[in-house]
Structure 1
Amino acid sequence: MYILLALIGACVLGIAAHYMIDGRDLRGVALTPAIATAVAAIVYTALQWAGLGEGNVWLWVASILGGAAVAVVATITIVAVRRRSDAEKITALGI
C-alpha cells in the first residue's frame, strides 16, 4: 500500500512538470504525469526487490524524484522531436 504514496507523489510532480515545460500544445495533458507515475512504480518495485524497506529514505527519493526527473527529460525530448518533425513537414510542403 505504501507504493500508492510514491505513485501519487510522482504523479503530482509530473502534473507540475507538465505546466512548467514549454510546448503543452504539442503533447497530451496526461503524458508527463503518466511517465512519472510509471517510472516511479518501476523504481519502487525494483528497490523493494533489492531489499530496501519502506523506512529507507532512498526508496522514496529514488522513486518519486527519479520518476519526475525521467518524465521531465522524456517530455522535453518528445517536444523537441515533435517540433523538428513539424518543421520538416512544413518545409516539405512548402508552406
Structure 2
Amino acid sequence: MQILLAFLVGAVIGAAVHFLVGGRGTRGVALGPVLGAASAGLVWMILTWAGVGLDSPWLWLSAFVVPIVVTYPALVLLARARTAHDARERAQLKIG
C-alpha cells in the first residue's frame, strides 16, 4: 500500500518539472506527472522486491530522485523534438 506514496511523490515532482522545463505548449500537461509517477512506482516496486524495507532511506531517496532524473531529460528532449518537427513542417508547408 505504501507504493501509493511513491506514485503521489512522483506525480508531484513530475508536475513541478513540467512547469520548470520550457516549452510547455509543446506537450500535454499530464505527461510530466505520469512519467514521474510511473518512474517512482517502478523503482519502488523493484527495490521492495529486492528486499529493501520501508525503514531504508534508499527506498525513500529513490522515490524523490528517480522521477527528477527520468522526467527532466524526457521533457526537455520531447520539447526539442516537437519544436524541431514543427519548424520542419512550417518550412515544408511554406508557412511563416
For 1:38, the equivalent position in structure 2 comes to 38
Q: State the TM-score, normalizing by the size of structure 1.
A: 0.93
Unaligned runs of 5+ in 2: none
- When the two chains are superposed, the root-mean-square deviation of aligned CA atoms in Å is 1.0
Count of residue pairs brought into register by the alignment: 95
Partner of 1:69: 69
Moved over 3 A (4+): none
Separation in 1, partners of 2:29, 2:49: 32
The two structures have a TM-score, normalised by structure 2, of 0.92
| Identical counterparts, % of pairs | 37
AA at the equivalent of 1:2: Q
CA contact (8 A) 1:7 1:64 kept: no
Equivalent residue number for residue 19 of structure 2:
19
Q: SS of 2:52's equivalent? A: coil
